[in-house]
Amino acid sequence: MTEKKREKSFSDRIYEAVSRIPRGTVATYGQIAAAAGNGGAARAVGNALHRNPLPGVIPCHRVVSAQGRLAPHFAFGGEGQQQKLLEAEGVEVIDCRVDLKKYQMR
DNA sequence: CTGTTGACTTAAG
DNA sequence: ACTTAAGCCAACA
């Protein structure tokens, strides 16, 4: 039957994309945007996560900038929380940065 | 609908 | 390494 394409909201795709990040791996906002179907909307991705009421549901700690940098100033829970979570998953975090060459989702 | 903001990205100085 | 500028997109007032 003619299935109606229920297009999820932008933030919903972000949630899916971020959730699909393998454990012990990180992804950049650009990758999330591309995974959400909007390559280039890296800005909107960050905004969506920030404004989206999905704390605890989205592993934002796996989302890093293109330079492998985290967001300690806006991180949930606490500043060191992000780094702690990443390290707990096997990601080596150094100075709020991760080695994209090894941990970025490819 | 318009304008501003922002957890981005890349380039240039 | 840091700052500024421009580009792109979505949510909010």
Per-residue pLDDT of chain A (106 residues; tens, 9 = 90+): 877 666 789 999 999 999 999 999 999 999 999 999 999 999 999 999 998 868 668 889 999 999 999 987 787 777 788 889 999 999 999 988 999 999 999 9
Decide if A60 is catalytic: yes
Helix (H) or strand (E) holding A6: none
Q: Token match 């800005």: residue?
A: A43
pTM comes to 0.90
Strand C-contacting residues in A 9-38, CB cut-off 7 angstroms: 9-11, 38
Q: Output the CA–CA distances (angstroms, integers) from residue A1 to A5, A6, A10, A72, in the order listed.
A: 12, 14, 26, 48
